[in-house]
Amino acid sequence: MNATGDAIAAVVAAHGALRRQRLLRSGIGGAALLVALAASSWISEVRPDRLVEGIGGALDYLDRTMPRATGEGVVADLREWYWGLGRWVVLLLDTVVIGALATLMGATAAFALSFPAARNLVQSASLCFGTRRVLEFARAVPELVFALIFVFAFGIGPLAGVLAIAIHTTGSLGKLFSEVNENADHGPIEGLRATGAGWLQSMGFGVVPQVLPVFLSYTLLRFEINVRGAAIVGFVGAGGIGQELYLVIRQFIYPDISAIVLLIIATVTAIDLVSERLRHAVIGRENLS
């Protein structure tokens, strides 16, 4: 056998070894996934027959929520379907107000906390550490859990919803804001320090003008998420359209379910569209300056 043959054989052998190694690794990964899936299907009580039953039941449910044609014309049917439109629109407005107010409060708190939470903007490491842990806690506890607690403390109504969403917003926006702050250009800060500016002044004139457009666009994005959240917190009694939706689902008033869900989807979509245009306007201005 010549040298070329040896080289080819070596390459083929190495290739085979690599292939076997990859096969083994994906085999182990796949087996682990299968075991995990089997365990989760056991613990979450999933069985094939129930799966089929569940999908069939869902289709049946969907069919029942469809509005019925009574033969009195489309307008009469629509009026019958959306019999509570006036009340629902008021509740939807409440939901949007909950989302907007919570966004405003959360963004304000996040703005204040994002400076001590930025590692390169404060001297004291413990202040930074403490602020970050507070933000982490606010972010990690689900909105609905805060809502449950606040409904207990402040009673049923939108107040609990606003507070719950505001705290969660503080956590998630505070993290994003502090990361933006850390990436801000240090030149203006040093320039301001050189003129004798204090910490507050160098933040206000050195950092804020750089980061404000990004903050605004994140806040608008959060507003979109919060309107969705505001539609949900009503499930535990924290106001808005969610409270009504919970009621009609629990009382099996089928046509109302589809009517309200469609209204929520329409509202959320409309707000997404408006907010997207605003965000593009904000970012556009940022790119110009």
Partner 1 sequence: MTATESADAALRIAHPALFGPSPATRRLRAVFGALAVLAVLGAFWRTGFLDATRLWQGLGKLGWLLQFMLPPAHNGWLLDFLHALAETLGMALFGTALAFVIAVPLGFLAARNILPLNLLRFPLRRGLDGLRGIDTLIWALIFVNVVGLGPFAGVLAIAAADIGVLAKIIGEAVENADRRQIEGVRSTGAGRLQTLRFGIVPQVSPVILSNGLYFLESNVRSASILGVVGAGGIGQELSDRIRINNWDEAMFLILLILVAVWAIDTMSASLRMRLIGRASTRHIGDKRPSP
Binding to partner 1 in span 170-209, by CB under 8 A: 175-176, 179-180, 183-185
- Identify residues 35-74 at the interface with partner 1 (CB under 8 A): 36-37, 39-46, 50, 53-54, 57-58, 60-61
Rank residues 122 and 141 by Cβ distance to partner 1 and give the closer one. Answer: 141
Per DSSP, the chain holds a count of helices (H) and strands (E) of 12, 0
The residue type found at 141 is: V
Compare residues 116 and 172 and give the one whose CB is closer to partner 1: 172
- Contacts (CB under 8 A) with partner 1, residues 92-131: 94, 97-98, 100-101, 104
Which residue number, 57 or 198, has a Cβ lying nearer to partner 1? 57
Q: Which is nearer to partner 1, 9 or 38 (CB)?
A: 38
Which of 116, 158, 171, 206: binder of partner 1 (CB under 8 A)? 158
Counting contacts by CB under 8 A, is residue 134 touching partner 1? no
Least Å distance, CB 268 to partner 1, is 7
Angle between helices 241-250 and 254-288 (to 10 degrees): 150
Q: Are 231 and 95 in contact (CB under 8 A)?
A: yes
- Check if the beta carbon of residue 165 is closer than 8 Å to that of residue 226: yes
Which residues are within 8 A (CB) of 163 and not within 5 positions of it... i.e. 6 or more apart? Answer: 102, 146, 150, 154
Per CB under 8 A, 89 contacts partner 1:
no
How far is residue 179's CA from residue 115's CA, in Å, rounded to a whole number?
Answer: 10
For residues 252 and 236, what is the distance between their CA atoms, to the nearest angstrom?
18
Identify whether the C-beta of residue 236 lies closer than 8 Å to the C-beta of residue 151. Answer: yes
Closest separation between CB of residue 164 and partner 1, Å?
12
Minimum CB–partner distance for residue 22 and partner 1 (Å): 13
Instruction: Give the separation between CA 133 and CA 232, rounded to whole angstroms.
Output: 27
Pick the binder of partner 1 from 77, 89, 134, 154 (CB under 8 A).
154
Enumerate residues 22-41 that contact partner 1 by CB under 8 A. 36-37, 39-41
* Positions in 225-284 near partner 1 (CB under 8 A): 228, 231-232, 235-236, 239, 245-246, 249-250, 252, 257, 261, 264-265, 268-269
Closest Cα partner for 100 from 274, 259, 244?
274
Task: Identify which of residues 116 and 222 has a Cβ nearer to partner 1 in the complex.
Answer: 222
Q: Please state, in angstroms and rounded to a whole number, the distance separating the CA atoms of residues 252 and 246.
A: 10
Pick 104 or 112: Cβ nearer partner 1: 104
Name which of 182, 214, 222, 218 is nearest 289 in CA terms: 214
Least gap, CB of 185 to partner 1 (angstroms) = 6
Q: How far apart are the first and last CA of the chain?
A: 72
Among the listed ranges 1-9, 116-124, 147-155, 274-282, the one in contact with partner 1 (CB under 8 A) is 147-155
Q: Which residue has the tokens 């070894």?
A: 17
* Smallest separation, CB 205 to partner 1 (Å): 16
